Amino acid sequence: MINPLSSSHMVNMEFISNAMILSFSILLLLPSTSYSLYQKPENHIKTAIFVTGSFEMGPGSIATKTFENIKFPRGHVGIKSFDAELVDQEGNSIPSYETYLHHWFAIKYHQNITMSPNPKLLRRPEDAFFQRNEGTCNGGILPHYWGFGVESRGTTSKIPDPFAIEQGNPTKIKNGYEEKWLLNIMVIDTRGAQDKKACTQCRCDHMNLPKDFYNVTRDIHNQRLTTNYKGGLFCCQDNLQCKQIEGFQGSRRMVSLRYKISWVDWNIYQIPVKVYILDSTDKVRSNGSKILHDCLAEYTIPAGGGGDSPHVQKANIPMENGGYLIYGTAHMHSGVVNATLYGQDGRTLCTSTPKYGTGKEAGNEKGYLIGMSVCYPQPSSIKIHDGEILTLESRYKNEFRTGAMGHFYIYLAEELPQ
């Protein structure tokens, strides 16, 4: 199983297992151009829509797929937005109560183009390696630049002018290497599931697990998984199945991730922002003068909490480098109350709140998380200082829940427009 939330810095068989189906086919490209009025000269924003290779899903099935070398804007560019959703073989949006998008993550890597193109031969660190975001998590945990889950359709990733996420800078790519991107996605088909909610939470007792599951499965720290693990990523491995209502019959279908990227060609008028992904499970400790982070990426909310007060998962996270806050939002799951990032002095930097659906159509599914709010402070109004300790709190309804996530995305600029 690929674990996108953990660990190797190489894009190799430590990162992508034999169980993964790697697809390099991209089916659709629809370019267009729009214009931003902020900068002079005029800033041409280009937009393209792509679709990953498709994979088959049936009632109750789980798919965890990685698509390497995906279509991505070429050259030295500034990314303005990156959004995605699940679609069927006709390109129709799939509602979450049928097929649940647990997560999608876009991850950058540099590949040695002087070596064999066969990904099965990539074994050494010099063959390919991650270029992770600036976040504080240890190793390769949460290395992605963009990525949400069921809330994707209603959570914008748009960055205001003149800011952009710089990619493809030739001065930052080693000679003989090429900058590439992969998408890791997890999808759960809940049709016919005995308990849809438990299925989307990857509850182990609601999955048809192999008999030797706990003997052969390793956790995020590469330790053998114990029976105390009640649910989460490791119980939603590729080709596993949610327990089904007896006698339920449903059709199989092809599913893809459709993603839309907007960008500009890089020039002197762009101001780069750095991407930081913080985790409310981060257990920070020190080894002498060195700060060590231990992010778990997911957590379990125990039973018996009750009451009206939400469950709060909290982390105090020192930031080696700061900057001006340009964008903030959270990636969480259904049941979320909100997530808040605080400065060291207690000031609120950003609170991201959920929106739940009220209908049946894709993007407005009743009872499902359909979006998280985004903070766009005035660019000069909030500055995070070098060495400042931030506090991240993720809040859920206080009831038993597995696979809860509290990831907070912030984009920081080191400079402001003149």
Give per-residue pLDDT as tens, 142-154: 999 999 999 999 9
Distance set, CA 201 to CA 13, 68, 124 (Å): 27, 26, 35
DSSP, collapsed to helix, strand or coil, labels residue 180 as: strand
pTM, full prediction: 0.89
Structure tokens, 408: 């907070």
Indicate the burial class of 408 (C-beta count within 10 angstroms; 0-12, 13-18, 19 or more): buried
pLDDT of residue 99: 98
pLDDT of residue 123: 58
Stretch 373-401: mean pLDDT? 97
What average pLDDT does the chain have? 89
pLDDT of residue 244: 97
* Amino acid, res. 402: T
| 408 within 8 A of 280, measured Cβ to Cβ | yes
Stretch 359-378: mean pLDDT? 98
pLDDT of residue 114: 87
Report d(CA 186, CA 188) in Å as an integer.
7
Report d(CA 91, CA 290) in Å as an integer.
49
Report d(CA 412, CA 97) in Å as an integer.
35
pLDDT of residue 119: 57
* Amino acid, res. 229: Y
Stretch 74-95: mean pLDDT? 98
Residue 78 has pLDDT above 50, yes or no: yes
Banded pLDDT at 4 (limits 50, 70, 90): very low
Banded pLDDT at 21 (limits 50, 70, 90): very low
DSSP, collapsed to helix, strand or coil, labels residue 149 as: coil
Stretch 253-279: mean pLDDT? 97
Residue 265 has pLDDT above 70, yes or no: yes
Q: Is 337 left (phi over 0), alpha (psi -120 to 50) or beta?
A: alpha
Stretch 160-182: mean pLDDT? 96
What percent of the chain has a predicted confidence (pLDDT) above 90? Answer: 81
Full DSSP string of 65-108: EEE-S-----SSEEEEEEEEEEEETTSPBPPTTTEEEEEEEEEE
Structure tokens, 29: 């490209």
pLDDT of residue 295: 96
| 401 within 8 A of 201, measured Cβ to Cβ | yes
Q: Which residues lie below 8 Å from residue 261, measured CB to CB, with a gap of 6+?
A: 47, 48, 50, 72, 73, 79, 81, 82
Residue 346 has pLDDT above 90, yes or no: yes
What percent of the chain has a predicted confidence (pLDDT) above 70? Answer: 87
Banded pLDDT at 42 (limits 50, 70, 90): low
Structure tokens, 281: 């499970």
DSSP, collapsed to helix, strand or coil, labels residue 152 as: helix
pLDDT of residue 287: 86
Report the relative pairing of strands 163-167 and 271-279 from DSSP bridges. parallel
Dihedral sign computed on CA atoms, order 134, 140, 145, 150: negative
Banded pLDDT at 120 (limits 50, 70, 90): low
Q: Which residues lie below 8 Å from residue 2, measured CB to CB, with a gap of 6+?
A: 15, 16, 17, 20, 64, 66, 184
Stretch 111-128: mean pLDDT? 71
Q: Does 72 or 41 have the greater pLDDT score?
A: 72
Report the relative pairing of strands 311-318 and 369-372 from DSSP bridges. unpaired
DSSP, collapsed to helix, strand or coil, labels residue 6 as: coil
DSSP, collapsed to helix, strand or coil, labels residue 126 as: coil
Residue 16 has pLDDT above 50, yes or no: no
Give the position of tokens 């937005």: 81
Indicate the burial class of 274 (C-beta count within 10 angstroms; 0-12, 13-18, 19 or more): middle
- Residue 96 exposure: Cα atoms within 13 Å on the Cβ side: 29
pLDDT of residue 140: 85
Range scoring the smallest mean pLDDT among 288-297, 311-320, 374-383: 288-297
pLDDT of residue 204: 97
CA gyration radius, the chain: 21
Structure tokens, 113: 């183009």
Q: Does 51 or 42 have the greater pLDDT score?
A: 51
pLDDT of residue 194: 98
| 213 within 8 A of 227, measured Cβ to Cβ | no
Residue 35 has pLDDT above 70, yes or no: no
Residue 11 has pLDDT above 90, yes or no: no
DSSP, collapsed to helix, strand or coil, labels residue 257 as: strand
Stretch 360-379: mean pLDDT? 97
Stretch 183-211: mean pLDDT? 97
